[in-house]
Amino acid sequence: MNEAEPQIVVKDLDMGYGSFILIRNLNFIVNKGDIFIIMGGSGCGKSTLLKLLVGLKEPLSGQVFYDGTSFWEAGPEEQKRIMRRFGILYQSGALWSSMTLAENVAIPLEQYTSMTRAEIQDLVSLKLALVGLAGFEDFYPSEISGGMRKRAGLARAMALDPDILFFDEPSAGLDPVSARLLDDLILELRDSLGTTFVVVTHELGSIFAIGNNSVYLDVQTRTMTASGDPNRLLAESKDPTVRAFLTRGAEGK
């Protein structure tokens, strides 16, 4: 990898609901081409942090910069422009249930490109084939299994070849082999397209296999207690809760 180039910079971020602070004082940098893991125990605010990073939820205080632009200080047009470069895979897939898989993947393309119908169709087939769903174009989300829905969601997230892909628990609900294939796909996309990934997960296998940067959110102290390469954290971290998390409770605590 070349010189590290910061893509997302999070500065003094506090988040919560109303007057309730869920997590305070977050500072971290996601570089271009990183596979950045957000990890932590249940209820520590991982998903909330993801929501905030994709622009769905406003922080209580602090800033998030994308390529140097502060998201929450930018105007709505600028925000839209930034968000257009995101691809997001939701926990349950969040496919639009009134549309077929092909239509789901086609919507972003119809919205933001001037491709013809036929070109869009070709691209949709390619994206679906990439996630192993070739031939499922005309199925509705309710007609396929949960794992397939998730993969279709990934195809939609990849439709516009985004700069940053956000994943909310990608391997939850997938069988081990599919989860492994998804990890391989993530690595492949990173290497071939240079996509940055932000992944919320507590699947240890995935964390060590794909992550090269991370942040650990601690429930008790309500802040981040570790950050960096998860493999290095496993080797060097002194924090007992981080150690316990990374070793499935075998060490630490």
Partner 1 sequence: MAIESIDQTSSHLKLSNPDSTTLVIHLTDDWRTTSHLAAFENVCQGLETMPSLNKVLFDASGLTGWDSKLLTFVLKVRGWCDDRKVDLALEGLPGGVQRLLHLALAVPERQGARKDAERQPFFPRVGEKALQVYASAGEMLAFLGSACVAFGQLLKGKASFRRSDLMLFVQESGVQAFGIVSLVSILVGLIFAFIGAIQLKTFGAQIYVADLVGIAMVRVMGAVMAGIIMAGRTGANYAAQLGTMQVNEEIDALQTLGISPMEFLVLPRMMALILMMPLLCVYADIMGILGGLIVGVTMLDLNPVVYLNETKASFNMTNLWIGLIYSAMFGVIIALSGCLRGIQCGRSASAVGDATTSAVVTGIVSIIIATAILTVIFSILNV
Binding to partner 1 (CB under 8 A) within 97-116 occurs at: 97-98, 107-108, 111-112
| Cα 69 versus chain centre, distance | 20
CB closer to partner 1 out of 19 and 192? 19
Among 23, 54, 158, 186, binds partner 1 (CB under 8 A): 54
Does position 181 interact with partner 1 (CB under 8 A)? The reply is no
Q: Which residues of 153-163 are buried (b: 16+ CB within 10 A; e: fewer)?
A: bbbbbbbbebb
Measure the CA–CA gap between 61 and 115, rounded to whole angstroms: 40
List the beta bridge partners of residue 39.
216
- Minimum distance, C-beta of residue 134 to partner 1, in the bound complex (Å): 23
Measure the CA–CA gap between 233 and 75, rounded to whole angstroms: 38
- Minimum distance, C-beta of residue 88 to partner 1, in the bound complex (Å): 5
Site map 14..53 versus partner 1, x via CB under 8 A: -------------------------------------x--
Q: Are 149 and 174 in contact (CB under 8 A)?
A: no
Among 92, 221, 225, 231, binds partner 1 (CB under 8 A): 92
Among 29, 83, 130, 204, binds partner 1 (CB under 8 A): 83
In this structure, how many other beta carbons lie within 10 angstroms of the beta carbon of residue 2?
A: 6
* Phi, then psi, of 28 in degrees rounded to 5: -160, 165
Among 1, 4, 80, 249, binds partner 1 (CB under 8 A): 80
| Measured torsion, CA atoms of residues 195, 172, 45, 228, in degrees rounded to the nearest 10 | -50
Piece of 29-37, 80-88, 188-196, 224-232 that binds partner 1 (CB under 8 A) = 80-88
CB closer to partner 1 out of 52 and 233? 52
The per-residue DSSP string of 90-111 comes to -TT----TTS-HHHHHHHHHHH
Q: Sort strands 6-17 and 20-31 into parallel, antiparallel or unpaired.
A: antiparallel
Piece of 25-33, 86-94, 233-241, 243-251 that binds partner 1 (CB under 8 A) = 86-94
What are the residues binding partner 1 (CB under 8 A)?
A: 51, 54-56, 80, 83-84, 86, 88, 90-92, 94-98, 107-108, 111-112, 156
